[in-house]
Amino acid sequence: MKESGSLDAFPDALISAIYGGLTEQNPWTVALDLLRNALGSSAACLRISTKGSHPREYIFASGPIVSSESLAFFEGRSARELLPVELLIGEPRAASLTEVTPPGAFSEKVKEADVDATAVMLVEAGDGVEYILQICRNSAAPAYSEEDLAFLKVVGGHFGRALKLRRELVRCQVVNGFQSDTLDRLGIAAILVNWSGHFSPLNQTARQVLAEGEGLRVSGGRLHAVDERDDRSFQAILKEVLGVVEGDLSRAMLIKQSGEGRDLNLLVSARRSVSLISDRAETCALVFLRRSSVADDADVDVLQQLFSFTRAEAKLALGLAKGKRLEEVESELNIRHNTARAHLRSMFVKADVNRQSELVHLLANSLAPLGRPLEKVSAAA
């Protein structure tokens, strides 16, 4: 162990492990192992304790006495039940487990693991969650000294900062995942274009649109509309939007599809953000393109739930939502025209509309695509 708990004496490897594990699946394993060795301990753990009506305990731990069985045991008990000292944020405490632990299952576990001396620090608390760092030594080892506690305090400070970074990182990943998920389910491609024209697809639908050349394509490392006339308008819009210095600006256009394909709706919107390179504010453009093949057979169940359609009605509705004429849907479903008209009259009542055009508009803007499994979104798109 180092001679003091000062930053100058702090092991570089431990610092690197605390922050280097932020993106790892098991972020604290290496750091806890290094901490355990630095302080001559048989176990080191980070306990995350949630409060409220449904309290939970989560433990990351390292050491020869740590096992899946022991983790399950300790996660099944509250932190306050197991920790023998009153804790203040940022202030490590030392104690003897055998002296302060009341008889019971936990006391037996302490004896079984042959641990006694413990040092504990409440790293952070807030929003009903406590983050507690704890180390233990076996019964033959000395108690933790003031020097050890000073060392643990420095370690705990780094753990606290790393925990905040980890939560923010995970929060961003979750939010981005939900946003991409929603756009994919709605059949909307989202693409980010920076001031220099470099672009990044933001979801799976965007990558598919570019790979298949549906309305947009990549040429010379830049984003272009497939049709040359459309591209002139698209490039003019991009230039205008990327030229915005402050405020919001959005421009929309229709991209023509060849053959019987439906026109595609495209929106370009200006956004001010911090550059990942210069760390200065710059304007970028968000390009949104809605694919023509938005609806999928998996929407049938959701349409039934949204509008109380029968399965036959939902299948007819799905065909209309794809932009097909009633006669085309009749042929695909192998039903008579009179049967289709009877379905439509029933659907008008259930959807509270009066005309087929109103029904199609309602279906096209319904939440049905949100109910589709993502793997089917990719296949259908």
Q: What is the pLDDT along the chain (381 residues), one digit of tens a residue?
A: 444 444 444 678 899 999 998 888 888 989 999 999 999 999 999 999 888 778 888 999 999 888 888 888 888 877 666 666 678 899 999 988 877 666 666 777 778 888 889 999 999 998 889 999 999 998 889 999 999 999 999 999 999 999 999 999 999 999 999 999 888 877 889 999 988 889 999 999 999 999 988 899 999 999 999 988 899 999 999 999 999 888 788 998 888 766 555 578 899 999 888 776 777 888 999 999 987 555 555 578 888 888 999 999 999 988 887 778 899 999 999 999 999 999 999 999 999 999 998 988 888 777 666 666 665 544 444
Beta pairing partners, 273:
282
What are the boundaries of each domain within the chain?
7-174, 186-290, 299-380
Dist. CA 322–CA 169, nearest whole Å: 38
Element (H, E) at 91: none
Residue 339 CB contacts under 8 Å (≥ 6 apart), including other chains: none
Residue 240 CB contacts under 8 Å (≥ 6 apart), including other chains: 249, 251
CATH code for the domain defined by 299-380? 1.10.10
Dist. CA 174–CA 109, nearest whole Å: 37
Residue 266 CB contacts under 8 Å (≥ 6 apart), including other chains: 215, 216, 234, 252, 253, 254, 255, 287, 288, 289
pLDDT in tens, 196-207: 889 999 999 999
Dist. CA 358–CA 364, nearest whole Å: 10
Identical fold at 186-290 and 299-380? no
Dist. CA 61–CA 251, nearest whole Å: 53
β-bridge pairing 129-138 and 43-50 = antiparallel
pTM: 0.70
The fold of 186-290 is Beta-Lactamase (3.30.450)
∠ Cα 362 364 369 (to 5°): 115
Please name the residue that has the structure tokens 């710059």: 282
Dist. CA 340–CA 329, nearest whole Å: 9
Q: Which among 265, 289, 287 has a CA at the least distance from the CA of 197?
A: 287
Dist. CA 58–CA 79, nearest whole Å: 10
Beta pairing partners, 219:
222
Dist. CA 57–CA 70, nearest whole Å: 13
- Residue 369 has a pLDDT of 66
Dist. CA 317–CA 304, nearest whole Å: 10
Contact between residue 23 and residue 36 where contact means Cβ atoms under 8 Å apart: no
β-bridge pairing 56-62 and 199-201 = unpaired
- Residue 30 has a pLDDT of 92
Element (H, E) at 320: helix 311-321
Architecture of the 7-174 domain? 2-Layer Sandwich (3.30)
Letter string b/e over residues 66-84, b meaning 16 or more CB atoms within 10 A of that residue's CB? beeebbeebeeeebeebbb
Contact between residue 49 and residue 81 where contact means Cβ atoms under 8 Å apart: no
- The DSSP symbol for 67 reads -
